[in-house]
Chain A
Amino acid sequence: MSENVHAPDLSVNLAGVTLKNPVVAVSGTFGFGREYGEYYDIGRLGAVCVKGITLLPRGGNPPPRVAETPMGMLNSVGLQNPGIDAFLSDELPFLRRFDTAVIANISGNTPEEYARMAEKLGDMVDLIEVNISCPNVKAGGMLFGTDPALAAEVTRAAKRAAGRPVLVKLTPNVTDIAHIALAVKDAGADGISLINTLGGMRIDTETRRPILRMNTGGLSGPAVLPVAIRCVYQVRGLGLPVLGMGGVSTASDAVEMMLAGAHAVGIGSAMFADPYAPMKVLQGLGEFMASHHLTRISELTGGVLPWEA
């Protein structure tokens, strides 16, 4: 078999679901796909993860909700969304018109709320991403993601009700991310997503007011890439499928993320600088495979060669 005859195989397996390529639009930066759908065919993406949804509609936090940081940004949107029923009736049918996997990102105030949402989703999405890492809401959110017992409880509740594989989305705002990852693995998670945003803050030196109306928010963008790579690397030994994200803006960043242990790679804030970033990463991955004589992109996953300690 000559290695140049076959088209490079960009498909990956994420927690039992085949994605045609590893490029995923992450939750909260891509809405429900409509807006960037005006710029390119979102059916070219491996998967679209939708804006975080909750059982009931949420209005979100007061503005300002964004502050720029060196090579990054803080946000404090606070899970503004129309609620799961409106998602199912008004948004999901649109997304389903495209040849891309759909990941539903869900947040709840209690384990039961996660279960009720998972139940409502049934098998209508490809994967469920259980968000226990939102820094911008009071109840639930990151509280669940920083306590292994609570994280496991939410995971179990979602898993019991879910008709599709469950990814649990972890926060980097913990001392030992592998510890939390192990807890959700033991509770039955089919995979994990990481990282959500890192806690951060900016202050206007003239007014002495924080830029964000909520005072603090979540850091994302290129600035967090090394933190994300490190987190993915630290959970690679658990044998859990990983959707790696945080600061990825180029194909080279995506390769790095896969080498650290990711099965698929999410792109979020990079789209704010360049709406076409996911398309460019996809193209760049193809070029990387060609120049490195790779036949399957999945060969990269966990391929880092760490120095011996």
Chain B
Amino acid sequence: MSNKRLAKDVFDLRVALGSETRPGAPGSFYHIACGGERLLRRPISVCGAWDDVVRFVYAVRGEGTKWLSGVCSGARLDMLGPLGRGFDLADEPTLLVGGGIGVPPMVFCAERIDAPVHAILGFRDADAVILTGAFASFDLLTDDGSAGDKGYPHEKLRERLAGGEWKNVLACGPRPMLKAVAKVCAEFGVRCQVSMEERMACGVGACLVCACAVGGTYKRVCADGPVFNAEEVDWDV
């Protein structure tokens, strides 16, 4: 494995799996053990996969991801996966909307769609910008205008959808962004799938701690998701 800094507090982790394991599909995640003194694993989305190598891009947020960032190349990691229901990809013109550390799974989606793809990438500021090189065609936005245009992804999405050529929207990022993206897609009647985040324990669907309100009930982000149809998510619960 290798573990390299990509930006301030963002790391690019590549792990060679045993040959019997499949790396997983866009939107799926691995549940990664982050040091023996922590009971819970950390869910991280698959950012890319080649043969038996799986790639993750993660931000250092708290103790667990800090520990992960200190793991040296060549070490062994304890990972459970691939887990979860990923994006339902179609080879149709697709807009990818990524916010901050939600951009990594969008990279994998772009690779796997055999049709025109355009990304709308939003970041806090210039220091947080990552992975733009992975997209052939993209809009770059920052909250403060320090890189690309000043603005939010859902505003750019509205402009793009007005053109009428896009059939699908896939999104990953902070919940307020996903909610805004879902609203814009609903206005245009365009199918939208979102990757949701929730705190997890088991990661496999057994403990029910990762509840997300979807379609009037609590669904398990780890097993029924993390990807859901945006129109089914109960955004205000």
Contacts and interface: CB of A to CB of B under 8 A. Distances in A.
Interface of A: 28-31, 34-36, 38-39, 51, 59-73, 75, 77, 80, 211, 221-222, 269, 271-273, 275
Nearest to A73: B39
27 contacts: A28-B208, A30-B206, A35-B202, A35-B206, A35-B223, A59-B218, A60-B218, A62-B213, A63-B212, A63-B218, A65-B209, A65-B210, A66-B40, A66-B201, A68-B38, A68-B40, A71-B39, A72-B39, A73-B40, A77-B211, A221-B39, A269-B39, A271-B202, A272-B40, A273-B33, A273-B41, A275-B80
A177 to B, nearest CB: 24
Contacts of B217: 59
B162 interface: no
A38 B204 contact: yes
A63 B234 CA distance: 13
A66 B206 contact: no
B39 A66 contact: no
Given A29-B202, A73-B201, A271-B202, A60 B40 contact: no
Contacts of B33: 273
B136 interface: no
B207 A29 contact: yes
A35 B80 CA distance: 13
Nearest to A75: B209
Interface of B: 33, 37-41, 80, 198-213, 217-218, 223, 237
B207 A31 contact: yes
Contacts of B80: 275
Contacts of B38: 68
Given A75-B207, A269-B39, A63 B199 contact: yes
Contacts of A211: 199
Contacts of A31: 205-208
Contacts of A65: 199, 208-211
Contacts of A38: 204
A75 B37 CA distance: 19
A65 B218 CA distance: 12
A77 B40 contact: no
Contacts of B202: 29, 35, 271-272, 275
Contacts of A271: 202, 206
Nearest to B201: A272
Nearest to A249: B39
A237 to B, nearest CB: 32
Nearest to A64: B199
B207 A63 contact: no
Given A64-B199, A65-B209, A222-B39, A80 B218 contact: yes
B158 to A, nearest CB: 29
Nearest to A37: B206
Given A65-B211, A80-B218, 12 more contacts: A35-B204, A63-B209, A63-B210, A66-B40, A66-B210, A68-B39, A73-B40, A77-B207, A269-B201, A272-B202, A275-B202, A275-B204
A63 B198 contact: yes
A36 B39 contact: no
Q: Which of B207, B209, B217 lies at the interface centre, i.e. has the most chain A CB atoms within 10 A of its CB?
A: B209
A303 to B, nearest CB: 29
The 6 A-B residue pairs with the shortest CB-CB distance in the complex, in nearest-first order: A66-B209, A31-B206, A35-B206, A65-B209, A272-B201, A35-B205
A28 B207 contact: yes
Contacts of B40: 66, 68, 73, 272-273
B201 to A, nearest CB: 4
Contacts of B213: 62
Q: Which of A65, A272, A273, A275 lies at the interface centre, i.e. has the most chain B CB atoms within 10 A of its CB?
A: A272
Nearest to A211: B199
Contacts of B223: 35
Contacts of B41: 272-273
A62 B209 CA distance: 10
A124 to B, nearest CB: 22
Contacts of B198: 63-64
Given A63-B199, A65-B199, A36 B218 contact: no
Contacts of A62: 211, 213, 237
A173 B55 CA distance: 45
A99 to B, nearest CB: 20
A87 to B, nearest CB: 14
B39 A29 contact: no
Nearest to A272: B201
A272 B200 CA distance: 9
A249 B138 CA distance: 48
A69 to B, nearest CB: 8
